[in-house]
Structure 1
C-alpha cells in the first residue's frame, strides 16, 4: 500500500445552500482543505440548492467523466406569470389568472415535456452566442434567441398542486445533463396559457451520487475536512466499469504504455490496482490504452 500523500485528493460531495454561488462553495472547499486545486462537475444558480460534486487535487481529472451524468431535481413552479429569467429572480413579463387550473390540467402538457424532447434553453443560460455568454447579452439588453437542443426528461412527476391566482406545482424531475429546469417551468406555463417560472430548485442526485448526508458547503470544518473525501478509486468505480490491474499492467499504464487488456467490454474503464486509481483507460480489442493517468503517492 503506497504511503499517503499530504495533499488532499478525492471527490467531495457538498450541499450548496441558497444564496451563495457555486464559486463561493468552491472557495470554501479550498480554504477548508488548504489547496487551490478544486474543480466542480457542474454549477448551480445562487437561488438553487443541492448537490455539488467537487474534485480535489488530482481527482479534478475525474470531473470530465462526471459532467455528463444524469440528474434528479425537485422544484416548485409558479403558474400565472412569466419572467425574463424563467425564475423568481427575473422581472415579470406577462401575468395571467391561473385560478381556473386544476392538477388534472397539468397531465397533457407535462407528458409533452417528458421523454426525448427538443428544448430551447433559458435565455440567461451560460451557452455562448458569438463568443459571449447568453446571460451577459441579456443583461446588456440584447435579444437572445437560442436554438433548441435535444434533452431527455425521464421523469416529470407532480408531487403537489396548490390552486390559486398564482398556482404552485411541486415536481420531481429526472433528466439528462444539459436540461434546463427553468425552461421546463417556462414551457409548462406557456402550454397552459398563463406563463410559468421557477421559484425553487434543489438538485438531489448526480449519477450515482446523492445529496443526502453531504455537508453544507459554507459550513465545512476547518479541521478534518479531508476525511469527507471519497477516495479516487471508489469514486471512479461508481461511474465507470472497473479493470483490476496486476503489477505488470499497472507499471505499463503508469508509464503511459499500452498493455494487454483484461477481459471486458470495449470502452472507458477505471484502471485500479488494489485500492489505488492508476488512471482512466480505454479497452480497445485486446489492448488497454491509457487515457488519463493519476500521479502515484
Structure 2
C-alpha cells in the first residue's frame, strides 16, 4: 500500500509537471499524487509533490515564497517571454550597446518589492473560461490584468555581451530572484527589457527553493527509475524512503499543538478541542502522541477549529475534515 508523504523532485528540462506527477504515481503505486505549483517544460528544479492524504497538505504549500536562478537575455522579445517562443522584436543595436550594469540594476530595483505585475500572456490563467495560452495560439492578442506580487530580492550577476549574428547582439545577465508565490519570472525579464527599451526574455530558469524545501534535497526522476529498477543483484528501494513525513513537514511550517490520545481521537472526528494554554494561531499542526499528523487547525481563544484532517494508516485515502466549521 502507498504511504502518505511529501516528495521533492528535481525536474529536468523538457519534462512537464504532469509528466513528473505521472512518473511519481507509477513509482509510488498510487493515483493520488498532486503538486504544489507547476514548472514550465523549459524550467528545471524543485517540484513539491504530495502522495495519498498528504495531497491535502499541498493547499498550504502553494503560497510559500520561492527562489529561482535564471538568465535574462536583453535585446530580444518573444511571444512567450522565454527562449521557446517566437521572437516578436529585436532591440535597437545602439540602445543595446549603451546598456550598462548601473542602468540595468536601476531598472531591476524598480521591479523589486511590492509591485503590480501583468502575467505572461502565454500562461494557464483563464480568460472568459479559456486558457490564455490557447487564446494566444489562436492568434488573439491577450493582455492579462496586473496583480500584486512581491519580489523580495532581484540580484543580478555580471552582464555578458553575446553576438548572435552580424545583425543581432544581446546582453545576457544571470540573476537570482526570491519572490512571492504567483510571480512570473518570465514577466520580470519582459518588464526589465521593456524598461530598458530593448526587450527581454528568459533563456534559462531553475527553481531552487519553495518555502523551507531546497532543490539540493530533491531526487530526480532518474533516481526514482533506478530505485524501482535496480541493477542485477541489488534490492529495489522502498518508495516510502523517498517521502518526507507529513507531520515533520507541518511542524516545520506551523506551530505544533501536541495532543493527548483522547484529543487526537476527538479531533480526528472533527470535534472542537479546549486548549486554554495554546496561543492563537491561524494554522497549527495538531500532532498525536505517536507523532502522526492528525490535522491542521485554527486556534482562537483556547478553542480549535478543524481546517483539514489527515487519516491515519498506510494507504488511507484523504477524507474531508468533519465536525463544526463555525
- Structure-2-length-normalised TM-score: 0.87
Which structure has the bigger radius of gyration?
A: 2
Q: Is the 8 A contact 1:266 1:285 kept in 2?
A: no
Following the alignment from structure 1 to structure 2, what is the Cα–Cα distance between the partners of residues 67 and 177?
7
In structure 1, what is the equivalent of residue 214 of structure 2? 210
Match of residue 28, structure 2, among 29, 33, 49:
33
CA contact (8 A) 1:120 1:147 kept: yes
1:64 aligns with 2:59: yes
1:266 Cα deviation after fit: 2.8
Q: Which moved more, 1:110-119 or 1:264-273?
A: 264-273
Partner of 2:123: 125
For residue 195 of structure 1, the aligned residue among 173, 196, 199 is 199
SS in 1 for 2:63: coil
Deviations 1:113-172 (A, max 9, x none): 000000011001111110111111111111111100000000000122112421100000
The equivalent position to 1:296 in structure 2, one of 292, 305, 312, is 312
The answer (yes or no) to whether the contact 1:101–1:163 under 8 Å persists in 2 is no
Q: Any idea what the Cα deviations from partners look like across 1:225-266, whole Å, max 9, x if unmatched?
A: 320100110111122221111122112101111111241223
Q: Determine if contact 1:67/1:177 at 8 Å carries over to the other structure.
A: yes
- CA displacement 1:99-124 (0-9 Å, x = unmatched): 33222221210010000000011001
Q: Aligned residue for 1:227?
A: 241
| Unaligned runs of at least 5 residues, structure 1 | 1-5
**Do structure 1's residue 183 and structure 2's residue 187 form an aligned pair?**
yes
**Partner residue of 1:271 out of 272, 275, 286:** 286
Matching of residue 82 in structure 1 with residue 80 in structure 2: no
CA distance in 2, matches of 1:130, 1:38: 29
Task: Please show how residues 165-184 of structure 1 align to structure 2 within 5 Å.
Answer: 165-184=169-188
Out of 234, 257, 271, the position equivalent to 1:243 is 257
* Contact 2:278 2:299 survives alignment (8 Å): no
> Is the Cα contact below 8 Å between 2:279 and 2:302 reproduced in 1?
no
CA distance in 1, matches of 2:115, 2:197: 20
For residues 255 and 157 of structure 2, the distance between their equivalents in structure 1, rounded to whole angstroms, comes to 35
Task: Using the TM superposition, give the Cα deviation of residue 284 of structure 1 relative to its aligned residue in structure 2, in angstroms.
Answer: 1.8
Instruction: Please point out which of 34, 42, 49 is paired with 1:47.
Output: 42
Q: For residues 185 and 15 of structure 1, what CA distance do their matches in structure 2 show?
A: 23
Moved over 4 A (4+): none
User: Normalized against structure 1, the TM-score is what?
Assistant: 0.96
Q: Is the 8 A contact 1:72 1:173 kept in 2?
A: yes
Q: Which sections of structure 2, spanning at least 5 residues, go unmatched?
A: 163-168, 229-235, 314-326
Q: CA RMSD in A?
A: 1.1
> 1:218: Cα distance to partner?
4.2
1:3 counterpart residue number: none
Q: How many residues align?
A: 292
